[in-house]
Amino acid sequence: LVQLAESGGNSVQAGGSLRLSCAASGYTYGLYCMGWFRQAPGKEREGVAAISTAGTPTWYADSVKGRFTISRDNAKNMLHLTMNSLKPEVTAMYYCTRSGGSWCSQAAKDYNYWGQGTQVTVSS
């Protein structure tokens, strides 16, 4: 049974930092692209970052480039998202996702397993 469990969400002030983590289990972690998506109230789910099986290449949404870093530890079946210089507009539920294969995509439809999400709230 594939399971993805996020942690690390919190309420912080603008300019702060957070590190989200995702523990994966139930499959051969290193064979699949992993990603982070987010969904704010009243908005569609959007891709934030993705990382290929070996850790490179990576992809970022334009709005987070230079401030967010996605990483993975294949030995520990872990995925991370380090978020710096946080702004109120990044407030959302953040989801860890697993792609349908080794390839990475920006489209939510190409990710077939999702965690329950972890809430990130940034106040001004």
pLDDT recorded at residue 71: 98
Sheet holding 3-7, edge to edge: 3-7, 18-25, 78-83, 68-73
Close Cβ partners of 52 (under 8 Å, ≥ 6 residues apart)? 33, 58, 102, 103, 104
Over residues 37-84, the pLDDT tens digits come to: 999 999 999 999 999 999 999 999 999 999 999 999 999 999 999 999
Neighbouring CB atoms inside 10 A of 59's CB total 17
Q: Is 65 helix (H, G, I), strand (E, B) or coil?
A: coil
